[in-house]
Amino acid sequence: MNIEQQKKSAASAAIEWLDSRLHTDTVIGVGTGSTADHFIDLLKRHRARFAGAVASSTRSAERLSRHGIRIFDLNDVPELPMYVDGADEITIGLEMIKGGGGALTREKIVAAASKVFVCIADASKRVETLGRFPLPIEVIAMARAQVVRALEALGRQCELEAGDVRATLRVRSAADGSPYMTDNGNLIVDVGGWTIADPRAIEARIGAIVGVVESGLFALRGADLLLLARSDGVETLVPRAQYP
Ligand code: 5RP
């Protein structure tokens, strides 16, 4: 299986996992990205069996709507039993880097509102230590420069060898050069060169920088279940002993 087939089989495993858990009043949290897109496409067939979805981005909301799946505002839903989304990197403890698609803040909000976070990923996403993928951070535009300085200083403090931790503003496209804007109207800064040995501590420290909206570190609230597609099948990983 190539990477695209792996993404699809992870999405398909999530549909299987959902199957016995769907009820006509169930609202599902749905993430963003190419793996989540496969999940949304497979979900279409089951749309009559659940109430609808809360989406973590405009892009996913549009795709769900095109498939006839009703979109709910999170404020109108008391509880989400499950949230299905991809990741850019994930460890054995199911801590993640997310936000490659720029939806990290809404993803974190939907994850926080959900009882069970099901991560669907291809094998390339599984890492020993987070940080090879540049860490996305959503930032208020006015604070961009000072947040970049604070992030680089924090990165240098945490890197034993004071490595080349660099924060760069995400652009829409190289040709155009204009800044990428999130669904919330903010900027994204991507921090590269940072080996994140203690993701929970770093998530808390980044969250304390004034001007940061959210970081793409999902460690304080990681995934509860990982459906990891490899070339020979899908492996199920849980970080905790008991699982519903
Ligand atoms: C979007 C995300 C995605 O889950 C992450 O980027 C993985 O994307 P893909 O499934 O396309 O590899 O966090 O903000």
Name the closest-CA residue to atom 6, ligand 1: 100
Q: Which atom of ligand 1 is nearest to the CA of 36?
A: 10
Q: 168-172, 214-218, 239-243: lowest mean pLDDT where?
A: 239-243
Percent of the chain exceeding pLDDT 90 equals 89
Mean pLDDT of 75-79: 93
Q: Is 107 a catalytic residue?
A: yes
137-176 residue pLDDT tens: 999 999 999 999 999 999 888 865 556 789 999 999 878 8
176 phi and psi, to 5 degrees? -90, -40
The token duo for 45 is: 């067939």
Mean pLDDT of 183-198: 95
**Res. 68: pLDDT tops 90:** yes
Mutate to test the pocket of ligand 1, among 3, 32, 107, 170 (most ligand atoms within 8 A of CB): 32
Task: Name residue 15's amino acid.
Answer: I
d(CA 169, CA 66): 32
**Res. 240: pLDDT tops 70:** no
Pocket around ligand 1 at a 6 A CB cut-off = 31-35, 85-88, 98-104, 107
- Give, for 138, the enclosing helix (H) or strand (E): strand 135-139
Residue 163: CB atoms within 10 Å: 13
d(CA 91, CA 104): 18
Q: pTM for the complete prediction?
A: 0.95
Among 105, 97, 112, which residue's Cα sits nearest to residue 213? 105
- Which DSSP string corresponds to 147-162? HHHHHHHHHHHH-TT-
174: which residues sit within 8 A by CB, 6+ positions away?
none
d(CA 91, CA 49): 33
